[in-house]
Amino acid sequence: MPRFRMPSIMIIVAGLLVLSACGNKQTVDSQQANGQQAAAQQAASKQTAGQLTDERQGANVQPQTMLHQQADPTNHSRPAAQPMNKGGPAPRYLELSVHPQGDHFKQADKVKFLIDVKNVSKETLQIANTPSILVGPALTTTNEHAVIALYDWKGRTLKPGETATASAVWKQTGKPGWYSVEFGPIQLGRTTTGGAGTRFFVSYPADALQLGKVESGAKLKLPTENGELEFVLKNIEMTDRLTTIAFEFHTDLMSPMSFQIAMAPSNDAAHPEPALSVEQNGEKDGVIKGKATFAPVSKDAKSLRFVISDWSVVFKGDHTEIRKGPWTIDVPLK
């Protein structure tokens, strides 16, 4: 069975591909800490985003809006960021969990999130800031996400093994599709953590989507150190939740290719959306096979355009050049 390697793939606008089961609790991970601090610094215009209810005290809060860098993958949890610890493995402090009650919703449904923060260290911890959860489109070119602040958690002390529990309600304001929810920064003295979260789906109206499978075989030539290789789009499968393409690279290179890919339907060609996920296996008999997933396709789309950009070309193993492209493939649907 082919072994997929996802970390080598870069996705437009979306940063990371983070995947584990919806609602799973994740322990803080140092590789996400800096990204979450950067997200917090991008706070922008305020607007009503939802209402938080602490299940311990029933306190109401006033939400806000901020700009946030979005990370990648489909209906799976994000790992929690963990404070940096120079000179050894990062210590464990908090176990974070935030997930909706359900994995898909209709438009205009209110979405309730269950939120837990557990102290898994051997010392008493105090939350120094006002934590928050970030809610918004899983993939967006504006990176605009609503922020629901957890005001009652500022200054909260957690003894070893103690868990703080709350719930939050988000009033939908956008269109159908994939959404994400995750923790904003949580400050513990000199360290900052956050990030753990998941994705959920807001359903499209009945009969609004194209369903089925389209065979393609369309080809592209992409540059390599020794000339060109061939990219082949094998087929497109459309469901009410995802559009999945199967592709191949015909090459003598051993490793998966590093690139970004987006999809634009003919009725919205000016706004290609990056892939939700990309998977590839290793080279076998001159072929690297892979799959990429995107949002569902509306019924009025007559064709799909796939855009490849930021193509990495490795030269003799000592340096890499990024070719911006774009390279495009158009596939008719009707």
Structural domain for 224, as ranges: 212-332
**36 and 161 fall within a common domain:** yes
Q: Return the minimum-mean-pLDDT range out of 45-59, 111-125, 240-254.
A: 45-59
Q: How many domains does the chain have?
A: 2
Kindly state whether residue 114 falls inside one of the protein's structural domains: yes
Distance CA 263, CA 248 (A): 17
pTM for this structure?
A: 0.62
pLDDT of residue 143: 62
Q: How far is CA 259 from CA 6, 32, 311, in A?
A: 12, 22, 5
Kindly state whether residue 14 falls inside one of the protein's structural domains: no
Q: What is the SS3 assignment for 236?
A: strand
Q: Return the minimum-mean-pLDDT range out of 8-12, 85-89, 308-312.
A: 8-12
Which of these three, 160, 176, 202, is where a domain ends? 202
User: What is the 3-state composition of the chain as percent helix, strand, coil, each rounded to the nearest 5?
Assistant: 5, 45, 50
CATH number, position 71: 2.60.40.2360
**266 and 170 fall within a common domain:** no
Kindly state whether residue 18 falls inside one of the protein's structural domains: no
Kindly state whether residue 13 falls inside one of the protein's structural domains: no
**249 and 324 fall within a common domain:** yes
Q: What is the pLDDT of residues 135-181, one digit of tens each?
A: 988 876 456 788 999 999 999 999 999 999 999 999 887 788 889 89
Give bridge partners of residue 182 from the DSSP assignment.
Answer: 134, 197
CATH number, position 269: 2.60.40.1630
Which of these three, 174, 202, 230, is where a domain ends? 202
Phi/psi at 150 (nearest 5 deg)? -100, 70
Q: How far is CA 23 from CA 14, 26, 323, in A?
A: 21, 9, 38
What's the angle, vertex CA 244, arms to CA 313 and CA 179, rounded to 5?
95
Characterize the bridge pairing of strands 157-158 and 125-126: antiparallel
